[in-house]
Amino acid sequence: MKKSSKIWLAIAGILLIALGVVCISRPAATLFTTAWMIGLFTLIIGISKLMFTFRTQAFLPNSGTRALSAVLDIIIGIIFLGNHVFLGFSLPVIFAMWVLMEGIIVTVNSFDYRRVGFPGWLLILLLGLCGIVLGILGLRNPEVTAATLSTLIGLAVIAMGVAYLCALRGVNKFEKQVNSFRRNIGIDEQ
């Protein structure tokens, strides 16, 4: 691998770690940026789905529902882009409601798993109940939920930065092995 490629990989890893630290230390900015990015991605997804619908409507049925879904994505994306500060404040509540609803659904579904004899149904039940409790706690204290979300985002970004730096170390080790092998069989390094 060229030295310049390694430098870019190292820079990417260091910048991701720095960005993760910023996400953890600036939770409000993280949530506003996340809301803006959700809006941008949703808008792009909606446009892509609409283009797909136009190009496939002749041979795929139900193109009307796909077009409606695409238009709704575009509208939601525009709303998120235009109101990212409000949605940044709302994101912890939305997330807590989602966790609560998923917890309820998982809890109810666990009894279906029990009925068919799945041995892990109790674990699913307990995880569903945890989701319910965490969702309720998140709704009762959105500030803690916001800080937790920002911390999780920051930790995920830091993990990616560390992964890039580990990959760089792996590339260096692999290159040493390849160069050693070349020397052993008499091939000049290039």
Q: Locate the domains of the chain by residue range.
A: 3-183
Average pLDDT value for residue range 44-68? 83
Global pTM reads: 0.65
| For residue 190, pLDDT beyond 60 | no
| For residue 89, pLDDT beyond 70 | yes
Specify the pLDDT at position 155: 92
| For residue 179, pLDDT beyond 90 | no
Beta carbons of 23 and 150 less than 8 angstroms apart: yes
The helix-helix angle for 27-56 and 3-25 (nearest 10°) equals 120
In whole numbers, what is the pLDDT of the chain averaged over residues?
Answer: 87
The two tokens of residue 96 are: 């807590």
Specify the pLDDT at position 1: 66
Specify the pLDDT at position 126: 96
Specify the pLDDT at position 51: 92
Specify the pLDDT at position 189: 58
16 vs 164: CA distance, rounded Å? 9
CA atoms within 13 A on the CB side of 126: 4
Per-residue pLDDT tens over the stretch 92-137: 998 899 899 999 999 998 998 888 888 999 999 999 999 999 999 9
Angle at CA of residue 102, ends 100 and 105, nearest 5°? 110
